[in-house]
Amino acid sequence: MTRFLAITRTEMLILRRNRWLVVTTLIMVLFALALTFAGSAPTGTLGVDMLTVSVASMTTLSVYLAPLLALMISFDAIAGEADRGSLALVLSYPAGRGEVLLGKFTAQLMALGFAMTVGFGSAGAVAAWSGGAGADSLIALARLICTSVLLGAVFLTLGYLLSALAPSATAAAGMAAGLWLVFVVLYDLGLLGAVVMDQGGAFTQSVFPWVMVANPADAFRVWNIAASDGVALSSGMVGAARALPDWAAPASLLVWPVLGFAAARAAFRRVEP
């Protein structure tokens, strides 16, 4: 436990020195506030408070930004150390590779969690002050923050996996960009094409909801957007969500970080300093 905490503390100092904590928090605050003010117009038409609409807008932001920030932080966790020549020094410490990886993960997840909480919390406070907030919208905001941290955890572990497999930090950066594109953009386009070709058949009715929720980004959408009954923009996810049990989306977001970390640890064991 002492070794693990020492690595976590060191990684937090590195994040602070590199201004990652400040930059990620600033990005989240600026984008969340921008979407909050931009999305305030429909509140009167929809008959809901401003915080409800703001949470729906910030959900769309988080599904793109949380994975991107997580991959930007984690892609050079191993490959970068190898390029800088410091990996051998890190592995000479009296700590296992799993402890090293867990220390990095904890520190970087704490940084992401801080950025998400401050960013979404600030925007939520502004929305509540400007247009009111009900109990349901406050619960939706808390759910958004927690699930955004979980989504970030998924892509942190996937970033470690790429970093362990890549021959260099540059290659890891390219692989991380490709991974983000596949999970966040291309996956949904592929599913859309399959649904159009199926024309309401067995795939659309039975297989599509499960294939969709297998993607952590879509599981995040289902858990948040479909749960916001008061927002008309969520209607596109409601049909798929109703075909799934309530535990499907949470299970996907909880299982992915465990699988990703296990795969990253296995790949890290094969890396030679």
Instruction: Read off the pLDDT of residues 17-46 as tens digits, 9 standing for 90 and up.
Output: 888 888 889 999 999 888 877 755 555 555
- Over residues 227-238, the mean pLDDT reads 52
pTM (predicted TM-score)? 0.90
- Over residues 84-93, the mean pLDDT reads 82
What is the pLDDT at residue 160? Answer: 97
Q: In whole angstroms, what is the distance from residue 220 CA to residue 226 CA?
A: 10
Confidence of residue 232 (pLDDT cuts 50, 70, 90): very low
What is the pLDDT at residue 226? Answer: 67
**124 vs 238, more confident:** 124
Cβ count within 10 A of residue 106? 18
Whether the per-residue pLDDT at 105 is higher than 90: the answer is yes
Model pLDDT for residues 162-204, shown as the tens digit of each residue = 999 999 999 999 999 999 999 999 999 998 898 889 887 888 8
What is the pLDDT at residue 175? Answer: 96
What is the pLDDT at residue 5? Answer: 86
- Over residues 148-172, the mean pLDDT reads 95
Are 107 and 11 within 8 A, CB to CB? yes
What is the pLDDT at residue 233? Answer: 46
CA distances from 253 to 88, 101, 222, 245 (A): 33, 20, 11, 14
- Over residues 111-135, the mean pLDDT reads 87
Cβ count within 10 A of residue 253? 22
Q: Which SS3 state, helix, strand or coil, does residue 78 take?
A: coil
| Amino acid in the structure at residue 211 | V
Are 105 and 156 within 8 A, CB to CB? yes
Name every residue whose Cβ is closer than 8 Å to that of residue 22 and which is 6 or more positions away in sequence: none
Q: In whole angstroms, what is the distance from residue 194 CA to residue 211 CA?
A: 11
Confidence of residue 228 (pLDDT cuts 50, 70, 90): low
What is the pLDDT at residue 230? Answer: 46
Whether the per-residue pLDDT at 124 is higher than 60: the answer is yes
What is the pLDDT at residue 95? Answer: 79
Whether the per-residue pLDDT at 260 is higher than 90: the answer is yes
Q: In whole angstroms, what is the distance from residue 74 CA to residue 4 CA?
A: 18
Q: Which of 122-131, 229-238, 246-255 has the lowest mean pLDDT?
A: 229-238
- Over residues 142-163, the mean pLDDT reads 96
Show me where the domains of the chain are located. Answer: 3-269
Confidence of residue 261 (pLDDT cuts 50, 70, 90): very high
Q: In whole angstroms, what is the distance from residue 132 CA to residue 129 CA?
A: 6
**Mean pLDDT, the chain, integer:** 86
- Over residues 90-114, the mean pLDDT reads 89
Q: 96 in the Ramachandran plot: left (φ > 0), alpha (ψ -120 to 50) or beta?
A: beta
- Over residues 5-12, the mean pLDDT reads 88
